[in-house]
Amino acid sequence: MGLQVVGISEIKISYSLDDILITYSLGSCIGVTAYDPVIRVGGMIHYMLPLSQISPEKAAGKPGMFADTGVPELFREMLACGAAKERLIVKVAGGAQLMDQNKFFNIGERNFLILRKILWKNNILIKASDVGGVISRTLRFELETGKVTVKSVKGEVEL
């Protein structure tokens, strides 16, 4: 299949070792990758906001818009494909403070905090992350190798 773009508020799962999941413009948004290296299935979400309570109707139609609805959906889909929770390798990028230098809304920080709470409650650890700061990021996930990279104005790093 090749390059699969994960747009804002989207969740994508893939078995195809030819696939590369990529999401662009992670500012305050968070990108999460999950990978089961045994069955080689992977997924990615690009969520915008921490909590769906501000718009339950939007969350019902687009669960990937919010951390509290999208992240559990990502894991449900992964487990439905045969992934095992204890084997999942989770990597995270984003959560910057781009337009909110005075930290009035703190969306990026709140997005990362709620993700950590969700994962902690489900006994899932974050293996690597590149979050915070004031830079936009691109998150890239190669299914064949499980390699996850983050690209920004600072360059490209492997998580």
> Which residues are known to be catalytic?
29
Q: Tokens 């691109």 correspond to what residue?
A: 138
Full 3-state SS string of 61-105:
HCHHHEHHHHHHHHHHHHHHCCCCHHHCEEEEEECCCCCCCCCCC
In 3D space, the residue among 139, 137, 94 whose CA is nearest the CA of residue 113 turns out to be: 94
The 10 Å CB-count burial string (b at 16+, else e) for 37-47 is eeebbbbbbbb
